[in-house]
Amino acid sequence: MKYEYTSIDQDSFSLHDCRAVKAELINNKLIFFFPDGIFFTDYSDDWPNTGKAEVEFTIDHLRGVTVYLFTESEGQTIRREYTLTECIEKINSGEWELEFAYRYDGYQEILYKCWIWENHTPWTFECEIWIGTKQNPVFRWDSPKQE
């Protein structure tokens, strides 16, 4: 898909409160699609504030991507690991929407704390996505919609 703008300045962007409703994995590139946009510091304080957008991560083949979903059962927190393929299938089928909350940067990895939204009870689950990468994400977006 063609976008008006592209940047790798990850300090100028946030995915906080932004929901991915589609994802792809092509040639070690993980791409999340945000039809309602993402947050760019050069625009308003609204969240999100761009037009439609995507964010691309180049996955380091040695580190990969790990997805954890957290549920509660009998007072215990249960962590379940999903494969990246399972996660992408659930997002693309409409079963899940992936809402990003917080980003933590480590050595050649990015951790996103997220929420998984479903259309039935229990409605949300806490989620972590660990992305092994040696490169900054690529942010692509269109101008905000004029109202």
List the one residue out of 147, 125, 139, 117 whose CA is nearest residue 42: 139
Contact 40/13 with Cβ under 8 angstroms?
yes
Please say if the pLDDT value at position 16 is more than 80.
yes
Q: Is residue 100 over pLDDT 70?
A: yes
Total domains present in the chain: 1
Q: Which two tokens stand for residue 75?
A: 């007072």
Residue at 146 is within a domain: no
Q: Does residue 129 belong to any structural domain of this protein?
A: yes
In this structure, which long-range contacts are made by residues 110-117, counting pairs with CB atoms below 8 Å and at least 24 apart in sequence?
Answer: 110/57, 110/137, 112/15, 116/69, 117/19
Range of the domain at 26: 5-141
In a domain, 147, yes or no: no
- Average pLDDT value for residue range 50-56: 97
Predicted confidence (pLDDT) at residue 146 exceeds the cutoff of 70: no
Whether 96 is in a domain gets the answer: yes
pLDDT higher than 80, residue 147: no
